[in-house]
Chain A
């Protein structure tokens, strides 16, 4: 599974939506469960999935799925 697919799967799982509803443009707040708690859970699960860790400055830039994918890819 590539990074994009995994991130979409994590976002879908945390947000409680079907993975097909998640696009690269899906952003914080687009799904009711993707609030601040959801954002933290997503970041934590992405870190665990790829065994990486993000700095606060990097987390702040994560507004949508594409940002998260790019940030994760940059660490691999």
Chain B
């Protein structure tokens, strides 16, 4: 299997003039893209402190410079650690400290930091084989080809957005780098100007688009060949609405996680009778339900976390199948359904939040004796953080917000703060989050 970089090089040789990237007013051809990636690799290799296997932390802004640095680092033999450019200093310093130690192994491409259940970010190690296999599987399902013009409004510090970039460039398509969905007017202007044929979004992105533009997306029904959706739950009503508004578009929703990107897929029109399922295993992926848990096997699945012992990682696998932490079941035709989460992670519009990380920050506020967080349903984001606090002294929501602002990214801020007399716990002291939801 060719690496993503080898596929880009092949595209540069076959169609050097073809536009690979569009970023604002700049158009970058495949020939130029390859040249710039090679230059970035050379600059890195000429750095006295660089060595093969060095971890390179990259501020993953959705611009052309990031694309050059990302693939250039791989070409030089480095390992990319993409992080959100707006990552809070404490988290960034933690990641830099973690990746500065430890031993790389052959074939490592990326370390993607994801939210661990204990609150500390975990470094998911992905090899060149993992990411190439993932792109191959996704392209096979969605049907991407060199004629695609995709609008990228997802963060490239995450598996979904970065994956879209790899999918399109490996196939020789054109990627329009928009950066964010926040400016809806610019989103639709880019759709028209570049005659966009596809894009990726999270369900919260769709809720936002719908809120800001009603059914304007219908105007593009004739040009949109595909949409990839993922990262969090989407209601059947929203799926049906998209099907009605985009009757000829392949609307593909994935199920996956950073450790096993896009493990299952469902296309809305094909799954009209099974819209509540997460679909079937993606091409070249094997899924089994083991002890009620959805478990995944395939070349796209990570085999390790950075700086974790093989013994610890073995706990994440069942007979070679990666344990997703989601409970589910499979019908006789192979359709998979999610029942719930085994791990206590809050999914805020696709951003994963550990309740413990928020609780640690809240518990450090002098007026708060203790706290507990859990997921609260939200019309737009799917879920948001709800905090329950036991006060030592009175403290207002505004005062709490001022204190947590510099420490937590905004999607981690509690949307509602509830004062309680005590936090329900088990006899061993573990917070009973299900009971909190009943408060």
Contacts and interface: CB of A to CB of B under 8 A. Distances in A.
Interface of A: 16, 27-29, 32-40, 56-57, 59-61, 63
Contacts of A28: 180, 182-183
Contact of B182 (A16, A36, A56): A36
Contact of A60 (B185, B349, B406): B185
Ranked nearest first, the 7 interchain pairs of A and B with the lowest CB-CB distance are A32-B86, A56-B214, A36-B182, A28-B182, A28-B183, A36-B208, A59-B212
Given A16-B405, A40-B380, A34 B182 contact: yes
Contacts of B182: 28-29, 34-36, 38-39
A63 B187 CA distance: 11
Interface of B: 85-86, 179-186, 188, 204-205, 208, 211-214, 216, 349, 380-381, 405-406, 410-411
B214 A57 contact: yes
7 contacts: A27-B183, A37-B349, A37-B410, A60-B185, A60-B188, A60-B216, A63-B186
A38 B214 contact: no
B183 A56 contact: no
A32 B14 CA distance: 39
B202 to A, nearest CB: 10
Given A16-B405, A35-B182, A38-B182, A60 B411 contact: no
The residue in A32, A34, A35 that gathers the most chain B C-beta atoms within 10 A of its C-beta is: A35
A75 to B, nearest CB: 17
Contacts of B181: 36
A17 to B, nearest CB: 10
A29 B181 CA distance: 10
Contacts of B213: 56-57, 60
Nearest to B405: A16
Contacts of A59: 184, 211-212
B217 to A, nearest CB: 12
Contacts of A40: 208, 211, 380
Nearest to A64: B183
B212 A56 contact: yes
A40 B406 CA distance: 21
A37 B406 CA distance: 17
Nearest to A15: B410
Contact of A36 (B85, B205, B214, B216): B205
A39 B207 CA distance: 13
B184 A60 contact: yes
A38 B183 contact: no
Given A35-B180, A56-B211, A56-B214, 19 more contacts: A16-B405, A27-B183, A28-B180, A28-B182, A29-B179, A29-B180, A35-B182, A35-B410, A36-B208, A37-B411, A39-B182, A39-B208, A57-B213, A59-B184, A60-B188, A60-B212, A60-B216, A63-B185, A63-B186
Nearest to A32: B86
The residue in B184, B205, B406 that gathers the most chain A C-beta atoms within 10 A of its C-beta is: B184
A58 B341 CA distance: 39
A37 B410 CA distance: 9
B312 to A, nearest CB: 34
A33 B410 contact: yes
A10 to B, nearest CB: 14
Contacts of A35: 180, 182, 410
Contacts of B216: 60
The residue in A16, A27, A36, A61 that gathers the most chain B C-beta atoms within 10 A of its C-beta is: A36
A28 to B, nearest CB: 5
A63 B183 CA distance: 6
Nearest to B348: A37
Contact of A61 (B85, B185, B380, B405): B185
A32 B205 CA distance: 17
B417 to A, nearest CB: 16
Nearest to B351: A37
Nearest to B183: A28
B43 to A, nearest CB: 28
A57 B185 CA distance: 10
Contacts of A33: 410
A38 B424 CA distance: 33
A56 B207 CA distance: 12
Contacts of B179: 29
B349 to A, nearest CB: 7
A33 B380 CA distance: 17
Nearest to A58: B212
B176 to A, nearest CB: 16
A28 B204 CA distance: 17
